[in-house]
Amino acid sequence: MKVNGRFRTSLFFRLFIIFSATVLVFFVIIVLSLRQIDRNWRAQRINPLPDFFLDNITLIVDNIGMPPDLLRASQLSEELSLTILIRSPHINWQSDEQSDIDITDLSFLRDLSDEAAVLQAGSEEVIRVARGGYEYFFNRRVPTLSEYDMVVVYIGLTLAAIVLLLNFWMVRRLLEPVRQLREGAERICAGDLSYRVKSNRPDELGELTESVNHMADSLQSMLEAKRQLLLAISHELRTPITRAKLQLEFMDEGVIRTNLRDDIDEIDLLISDLIEAERLSNQHAALLAEHVDFAAYIGLVLEPYKSYLGGLTYVRPEQDASVSIDKLRTRLLLTNIVNNAIRHGEGGPITVTVSFSDNEAMVEVVDKGEGIAPEHIDHLSEPFYRADSARQRHTGGFGLGLYLCRLIAEAHGGNLTISSVLGEGTQVKVHLPYEQESEYGEEHHNHH
Average pLDDT, integer, range 315-341: 88
Q: CB-based burial of residue 216 (10 Å sphere; 0-12 exposed, 13-18 middle, 19+ buried)?
A: buried
Residue partners of 241: CB distance under 8 A and separation at least 6: 264, 267, 268, 271
β-bridge partners, 83: 139
Residue 436's φ and ψ, nearest 5 degrees, are -100, 115
Dump pLDDT digits (tens) for 29-71.
Answer: 777 777 776 666 555 444 445 455 556 777 888 888 888 888 8
Residue 188 phi/psi, 5° resolution?
A: -65, -40
End-to-end CA, the chain: 71
Contact call for residues 331 and 323 (beta carbons, < 8 A): no
d(CA 106, CA 88): 16
For 232-287, the pLDDT digits (tens) are 666 667 777 777 777 777 777 778 778 887 777 767 766 766 666 666 655 445 56
pLDDT value for 19: 74
The answer to whether residues 403 and 381 touch, using CB atoms and an 8 Å cutoff, is yes
Burial status of residue 380 (CB atoms within 10 A of its CB: 0-12, 13-18, 19 or more): buried
Residues in the chain, how many?
448
C-beta pairs of 191-200 under 8 Å, 24+ apart in sequence: 193/219, 193/220, 193/223, 194/220, 194/283
CA distance 273 to 399: 10
User: Which element (helix H / strand E) includes 94?
Assistant: strand 92-94
Q: What is the mean pLDDT of residues 9-34?
A: 72
- Burial of residue 96 (CB within 10 Å: 0-12, 13-18, 19+) is middle
Element (H, E) at 118: strand 116-121
113, amino acid identity: S
The answer to whether 101 and 139 are in contact (CB under 8 A) is: yes
Return the C-alpha torsion angle 128, 131, 136, 138, nearest 10. Answer: -50
- C-alpha 436/C-alpha 294 separation (Å) is 13
- Is the confidence at residue 136, as pLDDT, over 80? yes
> Tell me, what's the pLDDT at 384?
57
Classify residue 287 by burial, with Cβ atoms within 10 Å: 0-12, 13-18, 19+: buried
For the entire predicted model, the pTM comes to 0.44
Whole-number Å distance between alpha carbons of 203 and 183: 19
Four-residue CA torsion sign, 242, 247, 248, 250:
positive
How far apart CA 20 and CA 57 sit, in angstroms, is: 52
Please report the pLDDT score of residue 274 as a whole number: 64
> pLDDT tier at 365 (50, 70, 90 boundaries)?
very high
